[in-house]
Amino acid sequence: MPDNNDNVYDLVVVGGGPAGMMAAITAAQHGVSVLMIDKNSMLGKKLLLTGGGRCNLTHAGTPEELIEHIPYSGKCLFKAFHRFHSPELIAFFEQLGVSLVEDANGKYFPVSQQAREIQVVMTRALKIYGVEVVRSKVLNLDKTPGYYTIHSADGNFRAKHVLISTGGSTYPGTGSSGDGYKFAGLFGHTIYPVEPGLVPLESPFLASGELAGISLQRVGLQCFTHSGKLKFSHKGEMLFTHDGVSGPLILDASLYLLEYDFPVELVFTLPKDYATTFPKRFLQFFATTLAEQEKIGSDISIRFRCTQKKGWDHAMITLGGVSMQEIDPQTFESKLAPGLFFAGEVLDCHGKTGGYNLQIAFSTGYMVGETVAKRKTPL
């Protein structure tokens, strides 16, 4: 493929999701020449699905409190969150004309409750700050002294700095199909095996679908692997689906359950007032178990097995990815290839439900944008 032009951009961003857009806007705001390449006709397509279409952008709390909800490499975000976490994100969107509102659980959404608003204002900001956008699939990357060459289906581009923000492998219809792992591998990066995360679980025990749609609050959950190891213990809200279980408690549990842990045993402890507050359909389905336990007078619990997680089309995030050990946590630059950066879900850095994953994308993207801007002109 021929070079598209002789220009050497300060920054080429490969992947225009929230991480890439944040990096591009931040860098361009400081006069950096930025080209963004995305294979979708719409940037930030996955944003439209977030928070059930409402976009849970972030969560209230100090950097340390946020990190507690990021079981994979959360500590590597210490510097990024101290520089840019929820207050800075709220200010960023205010500046773009979007106010955010906190719900009773500490989750932040746009006041409009419309994910599309976030996608629209970020795309508009790219234009306002002069980011060039090319719709094409990036196929390969290589480095020659002085610059990187980004090979796309529609020609080659050169850059002093390259950001890989191609996301993970979930909901491939939104564009994230795991290409970033291949690019990272070209430069010697370790890629931890990927598998679906924040994903519902399937249970043959529930395959009749009789409980589908029932949501239970204040239940305790313990998850045991097939070898009897306790992997997760927490309290919260869960939902029965047509073939298993979902809801925030289950999605969070799925972060801790790796494919080799299955089949897993789930033990739910019910609140004392379950008999008067839980739906009749649930009480009837488990009537025998509940009656037996009432007789003994023990804590009331139900248990069943789940045989697997649902697949990539149902997972909110991808577990695994580019090892954080090879990334500078101050800049998100590769320690193996100077000038190459990573941000967002392509990294092996993942959080629970509640806005933590978008905050990771925004914070890591911000750090990259600011780093490249500082290199061009000390801020």
Ligand X SMILES: Cc1cc2nc3c(=O)[nH]c(=O)nc-3n(C[C@H](O)[C@H](O)[C@H](O)COP(=O)(O)OP(=O)(O)OC[C@H]3O[C@@H](n4cnc5c(N)ncnc54)[C@H](O)[C@@H]3O)c2cc1C
User: Where along the sequence are the contacts to ligand X (CB under 6 A)?
Assistant: 14-20, 37-40, 45-46, 49-51, 55-56, 137-138, 165-167, 170-171, 175-177, 179, 316-317, 344-345, 355-358, 361
Pick between residue 171 and residue 278 the one whose CB is nearest to ligand X.
171
Residue 220 gets which letter from DSSP?
E
Q: How far is the CB of 180 from ligand X (least distance, A)?
A: 6
Q: How far is the CB of 278 from ligand X (least distance, A)?
A: 27
| 3-class state of residue 271 by DSSP | coil
Report how many helices (DSSP H) and strands (DSSP E) the chain contains, helices first.
11, 19
H or E element that contains 135? strand 132-135
Pick between residue 248 and residue 279 the one whose CB is nearest to ligand X.
248
Pick between residue 73 and residue 225 the one whose CB is nearest to ligand X.
73
| 3-class state of residue 32 by DSSP | coil
Pick between residue 153 and residue 207 the one whose CB is nearest to ligand X.
153
What number of other Cβ atoms are within 10 A of residue 203's Cβ? 20
Q: How far is the CB of 270 from ligand X (least distance, A)?
A: 28
Polymer length of the chain? 379
For the chain, the straight-line distance linking the first and the last C-alpha, in angstroms and rounded, comes to 37
Pick between residue 225 and residue 254 the one whose CB is nearest to ligand X.
254
Q: How far is the CB of 43 from ligand X (least distance, A)?
A: 6
| 3-class state of residue 95 by DSSP | helix
Pick between residue 244 and residue 355 the one whose CB is nearest to ligand X.
355
Pick between residue 317 and residue 322 the one whose CB is nearest to ligand X.
317
Pick between residue 10 and residue 345 the one whose CB is nearest to ligand X.
345
Residues 114, 307: Cα–Cα separation, whole Å: 35
Residues 219, 201: Cα–Cα separation, whole Å: 17
Q: How far is the CB of 294 from ligand X (least distance, A)?
A: 39
Closest CA to 152 of 43, 10, 38, 42: 38
The one-letter code for the residue type at 334 is S
Determine the Cα angle at 73 with ends 70 and 75, to 5°: 80
Q: How far is the CB of 347 from ligand X (least distance, A)?
A: 8
Whole-angstrom CA distances from 40 to 16, 164, 229, 283, 345 are: 9, 15, 43, 47, 17
Determine the Cα angle at 39 with ends 34 and 44, to 5°: 75
Residue 19 gets which letter from DSSP?
H
Q: How far is the CB of 51 from ligand X (least distance, A)?
A: 3
Q: How far is the CB of 249 from ligand X (least distance, A)?
A: 16
CB-CB contact of 347 with 322 (8 Å) = yes
